[in-house]
Amino acid sequence: MHPALSVIFFTTTAGAGYGLLMMLGVLAPIGILPPDRVFGAVALALALALVSTGLFASLFHLSHPERSWRAMLQYRSSWLSREGVAASVTYLPALVFILGWVGVGNTSGTWGLMGVAASFMALVTVLCTAMIYQSLKTIHEWHNSLTLPNYLMLALMSGGVWLSALVHLFGIQAPTVDAYVIAYTAIAWGLKVAYWNHIDTTRHPSTRRTATGIRARGAVRLVDPPHMTDNFLLKEMGFRIARKHALKLRRITHVTAFAVPLVGLVVALVLQGPVAAGGAVVAALSASFGVVLERWLFFAEARHTVMLYYGEGPA
Amino acid sequence: MTSLPQNETPRKLGLVIDLDICVGCNACVTNCKEWNTGGHSAPLTDLHPYGRDVDGVWFNRVHTFEAGSGRDHRVVHFPKSCLHCETPQCVTVCPTGASYKREEDGIVLVHHDWCIGCKLCAWACPYGAREFDEDAGVMKKCTLCIDRIYNENLNDADRRPACVITCPAGARHFGDLGDPNSAVSRLVAERGGYDLMPELGTQPTNKYLPPRPRRDHAEATGAPDLLEHLDEEDQPGGFLGWVDRLLSR
Ligand code: SF4
Ligand code: SF4
């Protein structure tokens, strides 16, 4: 699949924003994060800025953004529509929670419940995003039960690293945050390894033979494509990445998205002061870069059944 | 409404494509473009039509495949357009309701004024039947010539899809595949018509008829195996014999 930059930008920034919101909405009400108004303002502003820029990026990916309100209508059948509804609903409790934390300096009671609600809606939004991809039977690399947990854990991880960084920059004593984010990163890494292993060792049921129904002996080969130049289908779905390039990018992802952040977070957890803050910031920057790379690969490695008609082998 | 019709549609209009007959001439491709660039989906935009990177919207495309080798070798011309599936994911993924399947005849259409151009339906169609119009920013697709088949200004013979009426070889048939007694359903039953990628559960309405078994034995044509051998001894006599001797000199 063609790795469109707007979609990569949307899913990674919004994912990090929702991950951050998920953590803030729960950790503040249960008292792991203090109701410090400045810290709350910065952390929540970051979360909402990430979410909103992501959503805007996704709107500008559309050729008719002025009609985008219609995308909320078909929630009964479409995961994209459900995502739109969930993303919009998330703003309501999130704004009330902001009012409580930043305006009143209170994250308990009803204000806290609003945080938990925002956190829950952020979770639902991320799950809907993941289901858009996971539900597509045409793409082997997406239509498997690892896509959804991968999306969720990467969102928690990429939001969590920023929470860790903020906590240290504000000099807040909350080692639990580092511990959580270390756990998220480890789980996300394990899931990504499982995901790559899965797509490398399994096959899509469709082949050139099932696609054409041609039953003659021997392999079915394309002699003549329907046209000389690339059409919409080839531009949108014909993207292919060489195996050796993919493997190299996977290695860089292992290092930047998971290994470096883990080291940085452990430094942040066990050490104190500026070194700890430095570790957390390095973890945040590296993870953010790594997740963009991971998302690029998620698209670039995905192969669509229509390519069987253009002479490609099965996915 | 991107939920699929609750009940089975009373009619299932679609195409039957005979791979035994198709010669890959692209007449259907051309007439499809010709009709549809002025019809329901108009225009079928062409980008850089005179440049090097020609691109454009086409609802029907012919691929040519081969399989086997030596005596088993086959070349198959393979026209492909929307199959008007019974349970198409292209419809259910659409967030806006622009994509829909008609209750009355099962035709899958796009309401162009509602489409936001998210292209998710193109990702969901296994067959590559959806065509994005870059210029209009909306998704377009084969309408089964909805503006011909119900068009009362046309005479009966012309109320069929443009690709079907134009096929010079008679490789394309149009009809109601929901009625087991229709001509197309009988053809499918007789010839073993099949679905493309049945494993994906889209349940296409359009069917493909397989190439017939190859006839490569002379008997099958009714001609003798070899012509009778003419012996030197049995030379004709008389006038023909004289002509033969004259010419053989
Ligand atoms: S062929 Fe593709 S576009 Fe047509 S109905 Fe089936 S899934 Fe939808
Ligand atoms: S591109 Fe248009 S028709 Fe296709 S899913 Fe998106 S809104 Fe629906």
The pLDDT tens digits for A186-240 are: 999 999 999 999 999 999 999 999 999 998 778 899 999 999 899 999 999 999 8
Residues 6+ apart with CB under 8 A from B118: A61, A62, A71, A80, B95, B96
Q: Judge: A78–B94 Cβ closer than 8 Å, yes or no.
A: yes
Whichever domain contains B81, its CATH number is 3.30.70.20
Per the CB < 8 A criterion, the answer to whether A189 and A196 are in contact is no
Same domain, B239 and B184: no
Residue B50 in any domain: the answer is yes
Report chain B residues whose CB lies below 8 A from the CB of A206: 126, 197, 199-200
* Residue of B93, B100, B111, B131 to mutate, interface with A, max A Cβ within 10 Å: B93
* Residue position matching structure tokens 């080692």: A175
User: What is the complex's ipTM, to 2 decimals?
Assistant: 0.95
Give the range among A52-66, A95-109, B216-230 with minimum mean pLDDT: B216-230
Mean of the per-residue pLDDT values for chain A?
96
* Residue of A76, A77, A79 to mutate, interface with B, max B Cβ within 10 Å: A77
- Can you give the residue range of the structural domain that contains B139? 13-209
Domain boundaries, chain A: 5-310
Looking from the CA of residue B124, the nearest atom of ligand 2 is 5
Q: How many domains does chain B have?
A: 2
* Residue of A6, A309, A310, A312 to mutate, interface with B, max B Cβ within 10 Å: A309
Same domain, B116 and B71: yes
Same domain, B60 and B122: yes
| B108 Cα: distance to centroid of ligand 2 (angstroms) | 13
pTM of the model: 0.91
Q: Among A67, A135, A212, whose Cβ lies nearest the Cβ of B116? A: A67
On whether any CB of chain B is under 8 Å from the CB of A231, the answer is: yes
Mean pLDDT of B86-92: 97
| B194 Cα: distance to centroid of ligand 2 (angstroms) | 28
Residue B6 in any domain: the answer is no
Q: How confident is the model at residue B81 (pLDDT cuts 50, 70, 90)?
A: very high
CB proximity under 8 Å: A 189-228 to B: 205-206, 208, 210-228
Mean pLDDT of B99-125: 97
* Nearest-CA distance B77 → chain A (Å): 9
Given a cut of 80, whether residue A138 has pLDDT beyond it is yes
Mean pLDDT of A54-83: 93
Q: For residue B225, what pLDDT is reported?
A: 62
Same domain, B58 and B179: yes
Residue B133 in any domain: the answer is yes
pLDDT more than 70, % of chain A: 100
Q: For residue B248, what pLDDT is reported?
A: 81
Q: For residue A46, what pLDDT is reported?
A: 98
Same domain, B221 and B205: no
Q: How confident is the model at residue A270 (pLDDT cuts 50, 70, 90)?
A: very high
Q: For residue A217, what pLDDT is reported?
A: 78
Nearest CA in chain B to A237: B123
| B85 Cα: distance to centroid of ligand 1 (angstroms) | 6
Reading the block at residue A2, the tokens are: 């063609």
Same domain, B93 and B118: yes
Residue, of A258 and A315, whose pLDDT is higher? A258
Mean pLDDT of B158-181: 97
**pLDDT of A294-314, one tens digit each?**
999 999 999 999 999 999 988
**pLDDT of B209-228, one tens digit each?**
999 987 766 556 666 666 66
Same domain, B192 and B242: no
Residue B4 in any domain: the answer is no
How far is the CA of A24 from the CAs of A35, A109, A159, A166, B204, in angstroms?
11, 15, 10, 12, 48
Q: For residue B219, what pLDDT is reported?
A: 55
**pLDDT of B13-57, one tens digit each?**
999 999 999 999 999 999 999 999 999 999 999 999 999 999 999
Report chain A residues whose CB lies below 8 A from the CB of B95: 70-74, 78, 80-81, 84
CATH superfamily of A5-310: Formate dehydrogenase/DMSO reductase domain (1.20.1630.10)
Q: For residue B143, what pLDDT is reported?
A: 98
Residue B7 in any domain: the answer is no
Same domain, B36 and B156: yes
Mean pLDDT of A34-39: 96
Given a cut of 80, whether residue B113 has pLDDT beyond it is yes
Q: How confident is the model at residue B172 (pLDDT cuts 50, 70, 90)?
A: very high
CA distance A236 to B132: 10
Residue, of B242 and B198, whose pLDDT is higher? B198
Alpha carbon nearest to ligand 1 atom 2, residue: B125
Sort strands B13-18 and B207-209 into parallel, antiparallel or unpaired: parallel
Nearest CA in chain A to B54: A229
Q: For residue B199, what pLDDT is reported?
A: 97
